[in-house]
Amino acid sequence: MNKEYIKGLDLVMYMSPECQWCNKMVTLLISEDLINYVTIVNINKTDFKFRPGQVIPLFVSPKLSTVSTGYTSIEQLIKNLKTGVTTTIERGFTEMEID
């Protein structure tokens, strides 16, 4: 169920290799066989600009127009994306600039 749902979200995960929570989330996605359905963006190699209060890992679903942040279970990630509730911040993607 999780695999098919995640596959349909066009999910993007913004992360940094220096972030322990990002690395734990990548490990979880690998262990759940979901890593191939998530586009991983290394914020150190993009023009991604953080604003105060933004947290990584940051998950963005353009399909649902929702975000979720932080390390969490796959079930909670899906719930957050479905409801539009984020785990750590409320504004998330609306305050992010990507050039």
Q: What is the CATH number of the domain that holds 13?
A: 3.40.30
Q: Could you list the residue range(s) of the whole structural domain that residue 86 is in? A: 2-98
This prediction has a pTM of 0.78
pLDDT of 5-28, one tens digit each?
A: 888 888 999 998 999 999 999 999
* Rounded Cα–Cα distance for residues 53 and 94 (Å): 12
DSSP, collapsed to helix, strand or coil, labels residue 17 as coil
Give the mean pLDDT of the chain: 81
Q: Is it the case that residue 51 has pLDDT exceeding 50?
A: yes
CA-based nearest residue to 54, from 83, 91, 13: 91
Number of domains, the chain: 1
Per-residue pLDDT, averaged over 48-72, amounts to 82
Q: Show the DSSP H helices in 1-99 as ranges.
A: 2-7, 20-31, 74-83
